Amino acid sequence: DRVAEIMAGMSRRQKVGQLFMSRVYGYRAKEPAPGAVRSNEAHLGVADARELFDRFPVGSVVYFAHAGNLQHPEQVARLSNGIQRAALETGTMPVLISTDQEHGIIERLGPPATRFPGSMALGATRDRDLARAAARVTGEDLRAVGIHQDLAPVADVNNDPANPVIGVRSFGSKPGLVSSMTAAQVRGFQDDAQVAATVKHFPGHGDTSIDSHVGLPTIDHSTVTWWELDAPPFEAAIEAGVDVVMTAHVRVPSLDPSGRPATLSRPILTEILRERMGYDGVVMTDSLAMAAIRDRYGDDRAPVLALMAGADIVADPPDLPAAFRGVMTAVENGEIGQERLDRSVERVLRLKERLGLLNDALVDVDAVEAELGTTADLDVARAVGDAAVTVLRDRRSWLPIKSGWNVALTGVRPEGAGALERTLQGADRSLTTGWTGSDPGSMEISKALKLARAADLTIVITEHLGSFPRQRSLVQRLLDSGQQVVVVYAGSPYEASWFASASAQVATYSDVP
């Protein structure tokens, strides 16, 4: 048993290191840019990845755009190889590297990696095969650049339209739909692409109006409601063999009346997830840098409490030296027992073994360009887009847009504007554009109204309507003008509730081209 042999030769410090997932700043593993060095020193107490593993032999690394890790795929592959070499040079195990490639509004790896419009768009397709294919394509892209774990799919049932942190990141508001799509994506990531899937955020983050990045939400579901509404997607993921479950920084009083967030709750992580639901894979926390945890429990104690509750990996501690010191102290004084420590280390190492990291953790940088964005992969993305776009309403049969019509485009200019303009100009249509931006003034609104009066049909594209009253005013004035207007929601489809009078409404769930 290779894992048992490895564990027999590990020091206590090396074992503790396997329980940590850390960020590292910069786009190079060694000698990053001065700004990255300063950030590493401030948060990790080291200058670069080599020093990180020398001082804190962490078992996992997470890539973030704001940490400067993700410039382009070839660079990411070089960074991954550099991190693995730095770990091996310091006597550390090969590293599990992860990132959040949910697609849609949470996307880390850019072109030429294949892009998708996100989970709610996939949910709108109602097609499990497409969901699985999208996960396979994403997993293969990640694996090509040395990333072995995707912090996806989101298994939260989004039953609060005002949810500030989940929304279109969820497959939808129906437990059955979310369950089937979650299970399909787990199989696509793991069975088809050999990348670890991570279902999140257990026990469910879909019914809250507070973002756990800035506060501690409370989910007031009864135990019966939780089992009927929130639990099914996680049960489906467990049945599909999911490698990792990520915790949520939310309180659920019906599951744990102590008031502790799920991340630090033994009743939730051990008694429910492990014992009642039968899950024996890796449990990791959401980022410990989030205010829901950090403001209440401290950088040294939060990871200890999470491990005692049942977590195996503590993710993204904002002060790594304090967190590492806290866990080492808890192990040395017996607060975290040797058996408890070994159980988590074994889960982490068995995951690395399954992913092939114990054999060869390096990737072929020269092959990255050919492996990403293939014709076959882009065909999957187009199929998802075609099946996802939803006509919410078309009372007067304006869609599809008729040949020969003069079409006006206004509102928020989406990332996919160029592709949209090229498409609309086909079939003998003429096109005029007058983008107003997210927060139009009176002059921009007047120009948009003038544009609409000269057109046969006006398409107004919206996004983040709740944050921009003047954008809502633009849409309402277009609807009140008596012109033929199609409202396109390039973000949350819940925003359709603003405009009950609109004759034609379309949801795209994303502004990805």
DSSP letter string, 299-368: TTTHHHHHHHHT-SBEE--SSHHHHHHHHHHHHHTTSS-HHHHHHHHHHHHHHHHHTTTTT-----GGGH
Query: What is the average pLDDT across 326-354?
Result: 98
State what percent of residues in the chain have pLDDT above 90: 90
Report the candidate in 27, 40, 142 with the shortest Cα–Cα distance to residue 79: 27
Q: Are strands 390-394 and 504-507 parallel, antiparallel or unpaired?
A: antiparallel
Q: Which of 150, 286, 312, 316 is catalytic?
A: 286
Q: Per 3-state DSSP, what percentage of the chain is helix, strand, and coil (rounded to 5)?
A: 45, 15, 40
Question: Is-contact 153 139, C-beta < 8 A?
Answer: no
Please enumerate in sequence order all residues whose Cβ is within 8 A of that of 68, keeping only pairs 6 or more positions apart, or say none. 25, 26, 27, 32, 33, 35, 36
Task: Give per-residue pLDDT as tens, 411-425.
Answer: 999 998 998 999 888
Task: Give per-residue pLDDT as tens, 219-273.
Answer: 999 999 999 999 999 999 999 999 999 999 999 999 999 999 999 999 999 999 9
Check residue 277 and give its pLDDT: 98
Check residue 216 and give its pLDDT: 85
Q: Which of 54, 160, 213, 464 is catalytic?
A: 213
Report the candidate in 93, 91, 42 with the shortest Cα–Cα distance to residue 67: 42
**CB neighbourhood size of 28 (10 A):** 17
Query: What is the average pLDDT across 196-205?
Result: 96
Known catalytic membership, residue 72: no
| E strand spans, 224-319 | 244-247, 282-284, 314-315
Please enumerate in sequence order all residues whose Cβ is within 8 A of that of 471, keeping only pairs 6 or more positions apart, or say none. 411, 412, 436, 438, 439, 440, 462, 464, 465
Check residue 291 and give its pLDDT: 83
Amino acid identity of residue 116, one-letter, is F
pLDDT at 214 over 90: no
pLDDT at 73 over 90: yes
Tokens for 462? 């919206």
Known catalytic membership, residue 439: no
In angstroms, rounded to a whole number, what is the distance separating the alpha carbons of residues 444 and 451?
A: 11
CA distances (Å), 182 to each of 156, 199, 236, 314, in order?
A: 9, 8, 7, 23
Check residue 207 and give its pLDDT: 84
Question: Is-contact 447 434, C-beta < 8 A?
Answer: yes
Task: Give per-residue pLDDT as tens, 274-305.
Answer: 999 999 999 999 999 998 898 889 899 999 99
Given pLDDT bands bounded at 50, 70 and 90, which one contains residue 370?
very high
Report the candidate in 129, 192, 123, 196 with the shortest Cα–Cα distance to residue 156: 123
Question: Is-contact 360 31, C-beta < 8 A?
Answer: no
The overall longest dimension of the chain from CA atoms, in Å, is 78
Question: Is-contact 354 348, C-beta < 8 A?
Answer: no
- Helix and strand numbers (H, E) in the chain are 21, 14
State what percent of residues in the chain have pLDDT above 70: 100
Given pLDDT bands bounded at 50, 70 and 90, which one contains residue 208?
confident
Query: What is the average pLDDT across 404-433?
Result: 91
Given pLDDT bands bounded at 50, 70 and 90, which one contains residue 510?
very high
